[in-house]
Chain A
Amino acid sequence: MATASFDKNIVIREKEAVSKLVDILTKTKTKSFDEQLASAEAMTRSEEVLRSCLSRLKNS
């Protein structure tokens, strides 16, 4: 990965690249993923665990 990706201008000048982009976004079957990994419930639970463990550590 590249930190530069945040700051750079992504300029696609090549027509072949645009055609590939169109094909990928319109013709490729999307691979599914586990949408619950970052669900609001899962993250709230994680925050509670973190808060509770760090608080226990602070008071020990």
Chain B
Amino acid sequence: MLVSFEKFLEIASHKVYEEAISTFKCENDVEVEKFLKLRALQFESTAKSRTYLIIAEEDLIIHGNVRILAYYTVALQTLKIPEEISNNQIKKLDGYSARKGGEKITEISAFLIGQLDKNDLFGENINGDVIIESALSILMRVRKLIGGRIVFVECLDKPELINFYERNGFKVFRQDPLDKLIQMVRNLE
């Protein structure tokens, strides 16, 4: 079952929160684990991003245990594009126009899925495709409320990660020359 981090903080006691967060393990990507334990709270309180937890429902109902199966964090991001590209290309990226306020558009807004992974301890209980579909489902709600259509992700240059995102509709358009992360996008339609 899916619960927003905001609601979880509101409903769970400090003890339940600490226990649930401390049992989230992600050895193949320590950053994902660190983010949930060290930064998610601050990012949530400043509205820099929103985190969503997928909790094992049966375990909660039967045993009263809060087991986080997976989580993801979404935010807004901007893709900066060079001024030299054609108006036609800018219009295609913007979806509406090549200019804003009389000037060429040089920034395209996108939804960012900044963190997404499952808990090593209960990983067999959830499929990665369900996690990303859940994130896309959240973004679709945002799209219906305020618009937006591009979803952006970055991942390490590992075939299994790229295949995972490609299987879920993302396509690679670039590798960041500085940190070497693979950048991918998809439409949210």
Contact = CB atoms under 8 A, between A and B. Distances in A.
Contacts of B104: none
Q: Is the interface of A mostly helix, strand, loop or mixed?
A: helix
B81 A37 contact: no
A58 B13 contact: yes
B8 to A, nearest CB: 7
Interface residues of B, number: 75
Contacts of B49: 6
A35 B116 CA distance: 18
B16 A11 contact: no
B89 A50 contact: no
B31 A51 contact: no
Contacts of B156: 2
Interface in A2-60: 2-6, 8-15, 17-22, 24-26, 28, 30-31, 33-40, 42-43, 45-47, 49-51, 53-54, 56-58, 60
Interface of A: 1-6, 8-15, 17-22, 24-26, 28, 30-31, 33-40, 42-43, 45-47, 49-51, 53-54, 56-58, 60
